[in-house]
C-alpha cells in the first residue's frame, strides 16, 4: 500500500527531525503533487535539516544551493565555457539540474537570480545561451526563507511567490520537542543515518493514485467560493475585511487547493476529499497569494486572520453568483 510507504518515509524523517509534523506533511504533499514549497521561519527551526533528511529518504538526486547577495544566475543554472582544445563553447550545467533543489534562504539573492529560477520552476526547463534543456522529472524546489523584515533579505517577486504551491510558516517547537532536540544535539552517540524508502517510480505511482482521488462537485464549488471571496470580499459580506486586501488569490490558488486537498485525503488513507481536507491546507495555499495593503499592516492584520474569517464565513453549500 502506498500509505504504508508514506508512513515509512515519515518515520525515517522522525529519526532526525523532532516534531514539525506539519512541515513534513506539506513537503510530501508538494512532492506527490509536483508543487514547489516555500518554508518561512526564523533561523534554527530545522527547515534545512528537514529538507536534507527527506532527500536522503528518497532515491532522488539532490542539490543544496545557498542563496547569497552575490549569487549570479550562472551559479544556479550554469553557463557557456570556452574549450581551448576544440575551440568551441560548451555548456557547463549548474546545480539546478537535479530532482530536488533546496534553495536555502532564497530571499537573500537579488532579482536576476530569482528570474533565472522562475523559468525552471514554471517551465521545468533552463535556457543557457541559445540552448534550452529540459529538467529531469521529478523536479521540485523546496525553498527556505527568513522573514522579510530581517537584515539582508529581499522580498520575492509576486510572480515567483505564486509559483509556490504552498507557503508554510514554521513555528517554534513545543517545550517537549525542544527538550528532545537539546538532548539529541548534546549526545555524542546520536547518529543521523536514515535509509532510502521511495524511488522515482513509486513517487510517480503515488502521483497517479492522487489524481484518482474523487472530489465532489459541491467541494469543487466550495474551493471556487473560497478563492473568489479573496477577490470580491464585499460580495460575501466581508466589508470590514475588504479594506485590508489589495489583491486576491490567483487561479493557481484554486488549482493548488484542489490538488493539496486530494493529496491530504490520500495520505489519510481515503480516495475521496472531505471539507476538512480543504480547510486543513487552505492557509498554506492562500497565505502568500493574498496581498495585503498598508492598512492591514498598520492594524496588525495578517493573512492568517483573513483566511480564518473566510473559512468561517463561506458555508459549504453557498453558491454565490458573481457578475
Q: Are residues 159 and 11 in the same domain?
A: yes
Q: Give me the phi and psi of 271, to 5 degrees please.
A: -105, 25
Sign of the torsion angle spanned by Cα atoms 268, 23, 166, 275 = positive
Q: Are 108 and 148 in contact (CB under 8 A)?
A: no
* 111-165 per-position pLDDT tens digit: 778 878 887 888 888 888 777 888 888 888 888 887 765 556 667 777 778 889 9
Instruction: With respect to residue 145, please indicate whether it lies within any of the assigned structural domains.
Output: yes
Cβ atoms within 10 Å of 214's Cβ, excluding its own: 11
Q: Are residues 86 and 126 in the same domain?
A: yes
For the chain, first and last CA: distance in Å? 46
Please compute the mean of the pLDDT values over residues 246-274 and round it to a whole number.
92
Q: Are residues 143 and 260 in the same domain?
A: no
- CA nearest neighbour of 316 among 225, 230, 243, 247: 225
Instruction: With respect to residue 185, please indicate whether it lies within any of the assigned structural domains.
Output: yes
Please compute the mean of the pLDDT values over residues 229-258 and round it to a whole number.
89
Q: Are residues 189 and 224 in the same domain?
A: no
Instruction: With respect to residue 22, please indicate whether it lies within any of the assigned structural domains.
Output: yes
H or E, element range at 80: strand 78-83
Please compute the mean of the pLDDT values over residues 227-232 and round it to a whole number.
92
Check which CATH number belongs to the domain holding 157 and give it.
3.40.50.300
Q: Are residues 73 and 159 in the same domain?
A: yes
Q: Are residues 177 and 244 in the same domain?
A: no
Instruction: With respect to residue 55, please indicate whether it lies within any of the assigned structural domains.
Output: yes
Confidence (pLDDT) at 23: 87
Confidence (pLDDT) at 317: 64
Which domain covers residue 119, as residue numbers?
2-195
Supply the mean pLDDT for the chain: 85
Confidence (pLDDT) at 220: 93
* 198-223 per-position pLDDT tens digit: 888 899 999 999 999 999 999 999 99
Domain boundary among 164, 195, 226: 195
Q: Are residues 98 and 226 in the same domain?
A: no
Is pLDDT of 77 > 50? yes
Q: Are residues 6 and 85 in the same domain?
A: yes
Count of domains observed in the chain:
2
Instruction: With respect to residue 95, please indicate whether it lies within any of the assigned structural domains.
Output: yes
Cell numbers given for 38:
516555500
Instruction: With respect to residue 155, please indicate whether it lies within any of the assigned structural domains.
Output: yes
Confidence (pLDDT) at 323: 33
Please compute the mean of the pLDDT values over residues 301-314 and round it to a whole number.
88
| pTM for the structure as a whole | 0.85
Cα 163 to chain center, whole Å?
Answer: 9
Domain boundary among 139, 169, 195: 195
Q: Are residues 162 and 226 in the same domain?
A: no
Instruction: With respect to residue 201, please indicate whether it lies within any of the assigned structural domains.
Output: no
Q: Are residues 174 and 220 in the same domain?
A: no
Sign of the torsion angle spanned by Cα atoms 309, 142, 250, 262 = negative
Q: Are residues 147 and 234 in the same domain?
A: no
Instruction: With respect to residue 206, please indicate whether it lies within any of the assigned structural domains.
Output: no
Q: Are residues 110 and 138 in the same domain?
A: yes
* 179-191 per-position pLDDT tens digit: 988 888 787 777 6
As a whole number of angstroms, the distance between CA 132 and CA 128 comes to: 6
Domain boundary among 195, 224, 243: 195
Amino acid at each position: 500500500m502506498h500509505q504504508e510507504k508514506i508512513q515509512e518515509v515519515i518515520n525515517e524523517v522522525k529519526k532526525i527531525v523532532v516534531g514539525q509534523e506539519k512541515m513534513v506533511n506539506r513537503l510530501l504533499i508538494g512532492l506527490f503533487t509536483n508543487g514547489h514549497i516555500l518554508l518561512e521561519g526564523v533561523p534554527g527551526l530545522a527547515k534545512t535539516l528537514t529538507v536534507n533528511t527527506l532527500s536522503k529518504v528518497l532515491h532522488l538526486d539532490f542539490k543544496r544551493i545557498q542563496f547569497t547577495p552575490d549569487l549570479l544566475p550562472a551559479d544556479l543554472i550554469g553557463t557557456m565555457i570556452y574549450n581551448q582544445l576544440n575551440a568551441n563553447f560548451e555548456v557547463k550545467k549548474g546545480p539546478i539540474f537535479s530532482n530536488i533543489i533546496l534553495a536555502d534562504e532564497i530571499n537573500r539573492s537579488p532579482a536576476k537570480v530569482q528570474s533565472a529560477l522562475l523559468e525552471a520552476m514554471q517551465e521545468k526547463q533552463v535556457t543557457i545561451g541559445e540552448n534550452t534543456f529540459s529538467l529531469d522529472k521529478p523536479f521540485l524546489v523546496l525553498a527556505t526563507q527568513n522573514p522579510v523584515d530581517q537584515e539582508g533579505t529581499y522580498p520575492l517577486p509576486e510572480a515567483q511567490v505564486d509559483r509556490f504551491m504552498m507557503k508554510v510558516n514554521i513555528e517554534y517547537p513545543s517545550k517537549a520537542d525542544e527538550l528532545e532536540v537539546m538532548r539529541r544535539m548534546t549526545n555524542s552517540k546520536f547518529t543521523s543515518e536514515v535509509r532510502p524508502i521511495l524511488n522515482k517510480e513509486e513517487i510517480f505511482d503515488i502521483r497517479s493514485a492522487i489524481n484518482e482521488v474523487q472530489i465532489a462537485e459541491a467541494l469543487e464549488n466550495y474551493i471556487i467560493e473560497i478563492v473568489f471571496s479573496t477577490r470580491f470580499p464585499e460580495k460575501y459580506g466581508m466589508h470590514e475585511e475588504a479594506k485590508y486586501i489589495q489583491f486576491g488569490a490567483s487561479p493557481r490558488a484554486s488549482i493548488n487547493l484542489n490538488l493539496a486537498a486530494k493529496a491530504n485525503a490520500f495520505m489519510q488513507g481515503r480516495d475521496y476529499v472531505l471539507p476538512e481536507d480543504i480547510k486543513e491546507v487552505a492557509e498554506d495555499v492562500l497565505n502568500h497569494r493574498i496581498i495585503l495593503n498598508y492598512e492591514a499592516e498598520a492594524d496588525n492584520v495578517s493573512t492568517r486572520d483573513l483566511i480564518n474569517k473566510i473559512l468561517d464565513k463561506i458555508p459549504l453549500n453557498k453558491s454565490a453568483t458573481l457578475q
